[in-house]
Each structure stands twice: as C-alpha cells, then as structure tokens.
Amino acid sequence: MSYYKEFGYTGNNKNKLALLDTQKAIKVAKDTFESKLADALDLTRVSAPLFVYPDTGLNDNLNGVERPVSFDILDTGKKAEIVHSLAKWKRMALGKYQFPIEKGLYTDMNAIRRDEEMDNLHSIYVDQWDWEKNISKDDRNIDYLKNTVKRIVLCLSETKKHINRMFPSLKLEFCVDVYFITTEELLKRYPNLSSKEREDAICKEYKTVFLIGIGDKLSNGKVHDKRAPDYDDWKLNGDILIWYEPLNRAVEISSMGIRVDKESLLYQLNETNALDRKNLPFHQSVINETIPFSMGGGIGQSRICLVMLEKLHIGEVQASIWKDEDIKDLKKLGVELL
C-alpha cells in the first residue's frame, strides 16, 4: 500500500502523544468508555470464549468467505475455531444467565481474522467490546434501535471529552447529534458513488451517522455491505460512522443491530443459500424461540483508541503484525507503530 497516495501523509505527521503517554491514554480510553457503556445500557461484564466448536453454529461467518483459524485439540480429538466475533454466542449466554428484559452483558472479544486486508483501520488482530441486551418482542423496531445508538454515541462523546482533559494535546471532539439514514436512501442520494464513497460523503456532511439496513439487496441489485444472515435482522441493523478528519474519511465505530427472529432468520438464510444452517443448535433455538429476543453489537477497542488518541494508523494503538514495507514507509512518515 502507498500511504502517500491512499491517505495523504505528508511526512510531517507529528505524534500528539509520546509512546508511553499513548499506552497510558489507551488504558484511560478503554476503562472510561467501557464503564460508560455498561452504565448506559445496563450491562454486566462476563467471560467469553476465544474458540468454539464449528458444529455448534456459534462462530460468526462474517461475509461467508473468511477462513477461521482452526486447530485440533489433543485431549478431545476435535477441531476448534478461533471466533470471528461473539455475535451468536452472546445471545445464547443471555438465556443461560437468565438476564431479565432491558439488561444485558458485555465482554472483551479477541480474535484473529487471517484474511483481513491490513491497512490504517484493519488488523488481523481484532479486539472489541461485544455486547448483547435482552429485549421484548415489541422492542424489535427502528425507534428502539435509534435510541440505543444515541446512548452509545453519547458515551463516545463523553469519553473523548475526558481524554482531552487528561491529555491537552488532543483537541478533536465527537458530534453527538446522530444523522440516521437507510442504505437505500443513501444510494438514491449518491447513485454514482460506491458504497464506501457514499459513506464518506454523508459523514463529511453530518459528522456522526447511523446507516440503517445493511445486508439485504438494494434497488440496484447490490448490497451496501455483506452481513452474515444469522445474527442481525438486516432491516433493523446498522453501522455507527464518524467523519475522521485526520484520515479525511468515514470511520466505522460499531456494527450493531436487533437480532433475527424466526421470520427474518429463514428469509436471510434463503437469500444467502444457507438454509443448511437452520438445523444447527443456535439456529434451532431462534426458530423455536428458546433464546431471548435481543439486540447487540461490536465496538472496536483499537478503533476507538485510534480516534480518541487522534492517531493515523491502528498499529499505533495495538501490537500486531504488519508488512515490512509498510513499517518502513510509516516510519518515514512519522507514524510509530507499537
């Protein structure tokens, strides 16, 4: 990747925080946001698995083409997979722990996504807060979704203000007013742009955007972005996007949504030619309504730290593996990776 061309780095990219202050600020950002999120959504922290058995149907299939990291377990003679996310596991956990309606859980999710294309915002190492909340069937609607989005954005804004007070070299702020728009409305507004270009355009105008309805086909026959068919309801999900001036682009902070019920699950499995999954334990529990109705999402920890600390590359806030040529190029440009 040419960072000169892709992101307009000048070679005069002065770090606003030294390495040690960066490490201190990472902890402050994570601790502060985690606490605010738990309070805002009434969530309890739980422990979560790093790996699962494939035949449970619990692993997140993401776009359906990514290869999970797998390994055999000597003592059981079975193969396990590193989770891609905990989207389905969390919903099962809600029922297991008997969370009442309007309460939920959150956890630290760590994963390895071996097929991720690495750049400023993407790493093969994934760390995020995965959260899930028990809701009533009547709350499976857009208004409930929007209200939850507003609460999360407020947590982001308050965390950024706290970080700025502690580290005066940081000056950016989050726009707390969320602009809501559907993927179809966005397509009609910018019919000649690609999906990512549409996201950039709308975020540059409104700063903080929640894009509703990701996964299903649009009027042009394409999908805005792929989503697995068996956790989010494609009509009741979306992404929190912010305009991030240092990179001159939209940055996705969270993918979230109200989860599938029987009707939406079967529709989405059919649309993706994945009806063979419906007999897996997780999918049967949705069809038979033996697990709670829920909503949930993932919020990238390193992604949050990148924007909170006003960095240019995710490798400045997490220790991972990068291409040798990228490490050399970024160093020349004043970007110091952990």
Distance between first and last Cα of the chain: 19
Mean pLDDT of 226-232: 89
Q: What is the CATH number of domain 3-332?
A: 3.30.930.10
For 269-300, write each residue's pLDDT tens digit.
999 988 988 888 889 999 999 999 999 999 99
pTM score, whole prediction: 0.89
For 194-203, letters b (16+ CB in 10 Å) and e give ebeebbbebb
For the chain, give the percent of residues with pLDDT over 90.
61
Q: What is the distance between the alpha carbons of residues 292 and 14, in angstroms, rounded to a whole number?
A: 49
Catalytic residue at 128? yes
Residue 169 has pLDDT above 60, yes or no: yes
For 254-269, write each residue's pLDDT tens digit.
999 999 999 999 999 9
Which is catalytic among the residues 252, 261, 329, 336?
Answer: 252
Catalytic residue at 268? no
Per-residue confidence band for 196, with pLDDT thresholds at 50, 70 and 90: very high
Catalytic residue at 55? no
pLDDT at 13: 54
Catalytic residue at 157? no
pLDDT at 104: 97
* β-strand partners of 228: none
Helices (H), the chain: 3-7, 19-41, 87-96, 142-166, 183-189, 195-206, 262-271, 281-287, 301-308, 324-332
User: What separation in angstroms does the CA of 46 have from each of 86, 135, 193, 223?
Assistant: 12, 18, 42, 34
Between 63-67, 190-194, 331-335, the lowest mean confidence (pLDDT) is in: 63-67
Catalytic residue at 264? no
Q: Rounded to an integer, what is the distance from CA 330 to the centroid of its chain?
A: 25
Which is catalytic among the residues 34, 85, 113, 140?
Answer: 113
Q: How would you classify residue 53: left for phi > 0, otherwise alpha for psi between -120 and 50, otherwise beta?
A: beta
Q: How would you classify residue 105: left for phi > 0, otherwise alpha for psi between -120 and 50, otherwise beta?
A: beta
Which is catalytic among the residues 60, 216, 230, 316?
Answer: 60
pLDDT at 4: 45
pLDDT at 14: 64
Which is catalytic among the residues 123, 254, 255, 318?
Answer: 255
Q: What is the distance between the alpha carbons of residues 298 and 202, in angstroms, rounded to a whole number?
A: 22
Quick one: which H or E segment has residue 83?
A: none
pLDDT at 59: 73
Which is catalytic among the residues 200, 233, 239, 316?
Answer: 239
For the chain, give the percent of residues with pLDDT over 70.
94
Those residues whose C-beta lies under 8 Å from the C-beta of residue 303, and which sit 6 or more positions away, are: 121, 128, 251, 252, 253, 314
Catalytic residue at 139? no
Helices (H), 134-290: 142-166, 183-189, 195-206, 262-271, 281-287
CA atoms within 13 A on the CB side of 230: 29
Those residues whose C-beta lies under 8 Å from the C-beta of residue 165, and which sit 6 or more positions away, are: none
> What does the domain layout of the chain look like in residue ranges?
3-332
